[in-house]
Structure 1
Amino acid sequence: MHDPLLATGHRTTRYSRCTYLLLGSLTLLLLSIWLLPQSAELKQSHGWFPTWLHTTTEFFAIVVAMLVFSVTWHSYRVERAGNLLILACGFLAVGLLDFAHVLSYRGMPNFITPASPEKAIDFWLAARLSAAICLLIVALRPWTALRKATTRYYLLAAALLVTALFSYLQLWHPALFPRTFIDGVGLTPLKIIVEWLVISVLIAAALCFWRDSRRAHAYDARGLFLAVALSILSELCFTAYSNVNDIYSLLGHLYKVLSYWFIYRVVFISSVREPYLRLAAEVSERQAAEQKIETLAFYDTLTGLPNLELLRDRTNQSLAANHRNHKHVALLFMDIDAFKTVNDSLGHSYGDALLVALAERLRLLLRHSDTLCRPGGDEFLILLPDLESADDAAAIAQKIMALQRQPFSLFGRTISSSLSLGVAVAPSDGDCFESLRRNAETAMYKAKQAGRQTWRFFDATMNSEALEHLNLLNGLRQAIEGDELLLHYQPQIDLRDGTLIGVEALVRWQHPEWGLVAPGRFIPAAEESRLIVPMGEWILQHACAQAAAWHRAGLVIPQIAVNLSAIQLQHGNVERLVLQALASSQLPAHMLELEITESSLLDNTAQVLETLKRIKAMGVRLSIDDFGTGYSSLAYLRNLAVDKLKIDQSFVRDLTTGSDSRAIITAIVQMARSLGLETIAEGVEDAPTANALYRLGCLQAQGYLYARPLPAEQLAQFVREQIPLPCAVLNHELSV
């Protein structure tokens, strides 16, 4: 963006160099005329400065002096420095005195009294002395505003009063003034003394301006210094001339005009140009601020893409336009798969860089009329107007999926990512932005449910599924708050003697209208919505309380197992909850076993391990659920000091028919034995499976062979009436 003040600074530098060069040249010119051997007759020739040229130069100086006053006076504001007004009013007096000097010059018509050299010299000296005193005051006074706004009028009145008083005395009482010129003799010593007095005052002012020009000041001290320096040269000329028409008189008047011009330039820049330029930096800044506000209001600060508000406006415009020309409008909703893993494992800098790189990659696929938007997080939307058919949107979706398979290079690291994408096409899938966005998002979630790294068109059945899902979540929230949850308990059996070694607490949902809701239906929804966190807290509290109640009632139930989800471990403050549950129920810590899924060890590993270590230190037992389905490291098992591995039912179910399952279970049992861990199999539904497990060395089991998950009262009855039938059956089969 162009900066007027910066450009002005460059121009000021060039101006300073030129003016210093001019000052040096004019000084050399005066010295050369003064010192070079030339005839006195040549220097004193009356042809150098005729009356008409004198009148012209003086009137030019008068006009400049009046401009100094008028420009400053009419542009002055109270916050400006009062020095400008002092300069303006001072040069008003100087201009008026110069005008009287011109009218008094020899050869001019009578001005009240006859023209004469002495009359002209008196007005001349008064003007020079006024200018010198004015410049010295400006040089000495701080460059600050006047204390009162009315002071300007006092300055104006003082300038006019001094001028009027001097003019009155000179015109009507000339005898009061000492002689400054004698016909046939020339200038008197008094005139020369006054000229040197003026020079002395100007030198003092010049020194002040020179000092200020070497520092940072709010005014053009360098310009005023040059003006005063030229005035000094002018006055030196007037101390050297022998007649009003010689070469020194010519040079003196020329230097005087240049001095006035520099003063006018200073006040013009300070009063007119500088405020104008300042107004132009302000306008530019305001425009930049407005542009920034617009950017913040309608664009994403990270990627520079349009945000949701701008996309909404463009979508509605496209819908209106395409309704007239019978075209289609598509909205694509994208979400980066497992983006949280990138942030958590590599840091947010990598996550941000991935978002920026993806935005750049998506731009390459789009037309000029398309709009790529980032509403926030790891979501992107694409507006595709003017489509002939839905197939055009499908082609773009396919290209995006193909392009996204290429890895990204971020900070020297290669990162692969994938997208889930949903497509909604107007008018069939919606006639406004909100409906298109909602339906495209629904289609995107269907793509995630289909395994991610794919895309889906929206269809009407998705809405009914989404509505059902929403009703399920709302009902689940009410269930947690409204005491609709209950626990069932499944016995865990020792295969060696058939005795009860514990129970696993399993949550159930008794809905007042839907009846008993299957866990496979609401548990995934609870994990997706993170309702599993408050649900898990409820389960832990009630399971510990029930186990303590059985213990007090004399029932022999050695331990109770409670499942913990990965989300609970990451966000549920499990350590505090376990302490509260044990303390409130008075359940011994060794009677509580926490089952953690193998996959939960992969998320936030350091945090999870530290939490589980502290829980283990309380005396609580730990087991790994669904073992064999994930990718847990043996180091985790060693570091956590896990007590038990729970063999997933998918292996147990095929144990008697599949050699792969037998090999996997054998490996798990042998590994557990080498680490000093127990093993328990879930999903045991028949005696042959129990027999096979026993042969392989797995000594604990649970499943329908022994009992289904039972309410607390039925479980208590089961314990009281327990008959070790499965063990007898097992021993019978072993004997056979």
Structure 2
Amino acid sequence: MSYQTDSSTAASTSNRYPTSVLVIASGLLLGLVWLLSCFTDLQAGTGWFPLSVHIACEVFAIVVASLVFAVVWHSQGPQRASSPLLGCAFLAIALIDLAHMLSYNGMPDWITPASVEKAISFWLVSRILLACTLLAVAFRLQPKRPLSRPALLLVALAVAGITTFMQLYQPQLLPRTFIEGTGLTSFKIMSEWLIIALFVVAAWRFWVGRKERPAWQAEGLLAATLISIFAELCFIAYDNVNGLFSLLGHSYKILSYCFIYQVMFVANVRAPYARLAVEKAERDAAEKKAQYLSSYDSLTGLPKPELLQERTRQALMDARGQQASVAVLYVDFDHFKMVNDSFGHAFGDRLLCRASERLQQLLPESAMLARAGGDEFLVLLTELTDAGATSAVVQALLKELSEPFVLDWQSIVVPVSIGVALGPNDGQDFPTLLRNAEMAMYKAKQGGRKSCCYYDSELDAEMRGRLYLVNGLRLALSRNELLLHYQPQVDIATGRLLGVEALVRWQHPQWGLVLPGRFIPAAEENGLIVEIGSWVLFEACSQAASWRAQGMMIPRVAVNVAAAQLHDGSLERVVQDALAKTGLPASALELELTESSLLENDAEVVLMLNRLKALGIQLSIDDFGTGYSCLAYLRQLAVDTLKIDRSFVQGIDTEDGHAIVATIIQMADSLGLSTLAEGVEDQAVADELLRLGCRQAQGYLYARPVPAQELSATLAAIREQVHGSALAQ
């Protein structure tokens, strides 16, 4: 009996004051009648409560009691607010009240003559049964093994049957309640006081336990109990069954039944329907929310691509047979991962919301903006009459989105790359336009980001070529298609061999020899570079150890390390395993790092490189000067060599190129580092490098990268070349 719904609670609140007022008014009325009876002989009249009025009152009470039984009996489910005990008790009460009415003085004989004694006996049983039932409900009395509803029904019928049988066939066994000429007996009066005591206890329990029940239920049951007390007081005070107190007592009895019926009706009829309405409203709201979430992005509130697809289909249909066209723009924020990594995902989410607002402000009213996911947005432009209309929108997006966002007092610049596909030329349906726009966006990123690219048919061939390249690269290691070429590094002044750089190549069965410039970027983008880098490191160490075993002393072998290898966390273990398994001394291994890989200045990476350096491994910075000009790592790492990028070396004959090379060499000298020039192809460049202070070089002037088995002949050729140069001088 302890459930609560919003609707029933609201209903109880609106009825609380009328209920309290009605109870107070009933009590005041009883008090007023009692005071008047003290000064006037109100009970002397017998016309207050004639037989017809009694019959009407009892019929009404029987109907209400029967309705209580019917409502409770047909209530189902674990949440019903009333127990079958109360319903079955009211069935018995209704039957006994019927017997009381048929036994009333003046009614036709029913088995035995009607009399006041007979009517009062049925009345007392009915009132005692009501008092005991309310007491049980108030204290929530339940046997350890509750009876089933059919069993309770049989008990109720048995109580009514036994009471009727005893009164009709064994009345002498029952105590007297009324004596003609004398009035009510002491037994009858004591019984009424006992009934009042039971009602008082029940009312007290309803009052103290009102917080354990819904307010409307506790209030209704309490009101019914108090009104029942008033009724019993009337039945003690009356001297004449047709007097005013008898009429008032029967009226209070009907009122108490009505309160109980109201509680049962609300609990078992109105409340379940109200609860069902609430559940239906919640379910409808959940369905609407699910439908919304399936069609709209939960973060930005923008439509999802599915809605854009329908709008695009309609726009393409409208554009048929006309000069108008549609455009799908694929907008991706550049380096947005750095924002999340630096400021957290919550900050990144708020930045995306701010970016979506700016996008909406920049787009024309006919455009539709959607979020594809992550930091990617889609734009549909319709009713375009020429390519210039699309270009104007794209340029506005590029310009305005390059302006900084101010969030939490942080000024953040997150430019975008945009891919554009024009329909129907670039696709006659949304999936095709979306794929082509995305393809164009990736092309824009490859072109340097912060730019726009329009789709053309050549992109298809390029993307298919990249797909074939990546798929082939995934199989290259397992099929032993990768190999290493080695390019000598020499002393410019003496021609002495200083080491070799291991350069990976891919011998494809159909494409032939694939150079690293073609497949290394694809390997980095698709996460294959770590596995390839581990293979290169082990293969280079193994080959260097093999040369040493053959008596061919190669001072060191240099291996390039990608940024992903540095931050993967496994480089130190891979290097140690390679040295241990091949037996190559750590001093014979050099790791070439790029400036961009050291940009994040990760403390763990610095510690790991310092541990490798402590083993005796040499470190060099490859392509120095082409990175982000962050020199902090030179202070934190014990770098041995700076490798001057070939673009600077080949431009040494220009004023700017010469100044850059000279500056790098001077800086390295001041830090106690060696310099090695890459891409040296003629003797004049080598002489100028030597004059500037650079003593190491590699390039076509000395040798091209060659397979391991050809290195011996290449080194011999270098020695002859150096010897010939010495003789010429």
- Whether the TM-score (by the shorter chain) exceeds 0.5 is yes
Amino acid of the structure 1 residue aligned with 2:73: W
Report the equivalent of 1:153: 150
Picking from 232, 253, 256, the partner of 1:256 is 253
Which residue is equivalent to 2:526? Answer: 529
**Residues 135-176 of structure 1 deviation map (CA, whole Å, 9 limit, x = unaligned):** 23333444699756xx32232223223323333443455555
Letter in 1 for 2:256: S
| Contact 2:124–2:191 (8 Å) recurs in 1 | yes
Residue-pair matches, total: 727
Deviation at 1:582, TM superposition (A): 1.3
- 1:482 is aligned, of 470, 479, 482, to 479
How far residue 127 of structure 1 moved from its aligned partner, in angstroms, is 1.6
Instruction: Indicate conservation of the 8 Å contact 2:618/2:639, yes or no.
Output: yes
Mapping of residues 616-655 of structure 1, within 5 Å: 616-655=613-652
Report the AA paired with residue 528 of structure 1: E
- Matched with 2:34 is 34
Per the TM alignment, residue 510 of structure 1 is displaced from its structure 2 partner at its CA by 2.4
| Deviation sequence 1:563-619 (CA, Å, 0-9, x none) | 112222223722122112212211111111111111111136334323322222222
Find the counterpart in structure 2 of residue 22 from structure 1: 22
What is the SS of the residue equivalent to 2:551? Answer: coil
Counterpart of 2:101 in structure 1 is 102
Tell whether the 8 Å contact from 1:231 to 1:259 is kept in structure 2 after alignment: yes
Partners of 1:722 and 1:536 lie apart in 2 by 29
Spell out, residue by residue over 1:683-732, the C-alpha distance to the aligned partner (whole angstroms, 9 max, x if none). 11122211211121111111121112222222212324542745985998
1:702 equivalenced with 2:698 (yes/no) = yes
Q: Is the CA contact 2:499–2:558 (under 8 Å) kept in the aligned structure 1?
A: yes
Who is 2:192 aligned against? 195
2:10 is aligned to 10
Say yes or no: does 1:463 pair with 2:427.
no
Instruction: Choose the corresponding residue for 1:611, options 603, 608, 611.
Output: 608
Counterpart Cα distance in 1 of 2:617 and 2:536: 16
2:655 is the alignment partner of 1:669: no
Deviation at 1:238, TM superposition (A): 1.2
Identify the match of residue 580 of structure 2 among 568, 579, 583.
583
CA distance in 2, matches of 1:573, 1:153: 75
SS state at 1:622 partner: strand
Mapped to 1, the partners of 2:13 and 2:475 lie a distance apart of 76
1:682·1:702 contact (CA, 8 Å) conserved in 2? yes
Q: CA RMSD in A?
A: 3.2
| CA contact 1:566–1:603 (8 Å) conserved in 2 | no
Contact 2:367 2:381 in 1 (8 A): yes
Match of 2:656 in 1: 660
Q: Deviations over 1:173-205 (max 9, x none)?
A: 555544323344332222211211211222333
> Secondary structure at the residue paired with 2:300?
coil
Counterpart residue identity of residue 704, structure 2:
R
Q: Cα 1:457–1:495, aligned 2, differ >3 Å: closer, same or farther?
A: closer
Aligned to 1:66: 66
Is the 8 Å Cα contact of residues 680 and 699 (structure 1) preserved in structure 2?
Answer: yes
Candidates 352, 357, 361, aligned match of 2:358: 361
Give, as a single letter, the amino acid of the residue that structure 1 aligns with 2:239.
Answer: S
Distance 2:300 2:142 in 1: 48
CA distance in 1, matches of 2:125, 2:100: 9
Secondary structure, in 3 states, of the residue corresponding to 1:461?
Answer: helix
How far did residue 559 of structure 1 move? Answer: 0.8
Structure 2 counterpart of 1:66, one-letter code: S
- Measured in 1, the distance between the counterparts of 2:168 and 2:384 equals 94
TM-score normalised by the chain length of structure 2: 0.91
Using a 3 Å threshold, how does the CA distance of structure 1 residues 196 and 357 change in structure 2: closer, same or farther? same
User: What letter is aligned with 1:709?
Assistant: P
TM-score when normalising by structure 1: 0.90
Distance (whole Å) between structure 1 residues aligned to residue 255 and residue 723 of structure 2:
121
Aligned partner of 1:155: which letter? L
Q: Report deviation, 1:325.
A: 8.5
- Going from structure 1 to structure 2, the CA distance change for 1:312 and 1:237 (only over 3 Å counts) comes to same
Q: Which residue of 2 aligns with 1:267?
A: 264
1:330 aligns with 2:330: no
Structure 1 residues 233 and 322, CA gap change in structure 2 (3 angstroms) = farther
Question: Structure 2: how far apart are the matches of 1:143 and 1:13?
Answer: 30
AA paired with 1:331?
V
CA contact (8 A) 1:486 1:509 kept: yes
Pick closer, same or farther for the CA change 1:38–1:405 going to 2, 3 Å. farther
For the structure 1 residues 723 and 173, does the alpha-carbon distance in structure 2 shift closer, same or farther, using more than 3 Å as the test? closer
With over 3 angstroms needed to count, the CA separation of the structure-2 counterparts of 1:165 and 1:347, relative to structure 1, is closer
Give 1:123's aligned residue.
Answer: 122
Q: Which of 499, 502, 505 matches 1:502?
A: 499
Q: Secondary structure at the match of 1:481?
A: coil
- 2:82 and 2:267 in contact (8 A); partners too: no
How far apart are residue 627 of structure 1 and its match? Answer: 1.0
Cα displacement (A) at 1:279: 2.7
Q: 1:441 aligns with which of 438, 447, 450?
A: 438
Matched AA of 1:138: V
Contact 2:8 / 2:216 at 8 angstroms: preserved in 1? no
Q: Is the 8 A contact 1:82 1:145 kept in 2?
A: no
Are the equivalent residues in 2 in contact too, given 1:101–1:124 (CA < 8 A)?
A: yes
- Of residues 381-390 and 521-530 in structure 1, the stretch that sits farther from structure 2 once superposed is 381-390
Partner of 1:690: 686
Measured after TM superposition, the shift of residue 639 of structure 1 is 0.8
What is the one-letter code of the residue matched to 2:67? L
After TM superposition, give the deviation of residue 14 of structure 1 in Å. 4.5
Per-residue deviation, 1:521: 2.3
- Which aligned pairs between 1:266-415 and structure 2 lie closer than 5 A? 266-295=263-292, 297-309=294-306, 311-312=308-309, 315-316=312-313, 319=316, 328-365=325-362, 371-384=368-381, 392-415=389-412
Q: Structure 1 regions of 5+ residues with no counterpart? A: none
Q: Distance in 2 between matches of 1:396 and 1:142?
A: 77
Measured after TM superposition, the shift of residue 295 of structure 1 is 4.9
Counterparts in 2 of 1:660 and 1:291: CA distance versus 1, 3 Å: same
- SS of 2:584's partner is coil
- Aligned with 1:422 (options 419, 424, 430): 419
How many Å apart are 1:124 and its aligned residue?
Answer: 1.9
SS state at 1:349 partner: helix
Give the drift of 1:48: 4.6
Question: SS of the residue aligned with 1:128?
Answer: helix
Change (3 A) 1:83 1:286: closer
Question: Do the aligned residues in 2 keep the contact of 1:80 with 1:145 (CA within 8 Å)?
Answer: no
For 1:118, give the aligned amino acid.
E
The SS at the match of 2:676 is: strand
8 Å Cα contact 1:82-1:143 kept in structure 2:
no
Mark the CA change 1:431 to 1:44 in structure 2 (over 3 Å): closer, same or farther. Answer: farther
Question: Is the CA contact (8 Å cut-off) linking 2:676 and 2:698 kept in structure 1?
Answer: yes
Q: Take 1:284 and 1:613, find their aligned partners in 2: how far apart are those partners?
A: 65
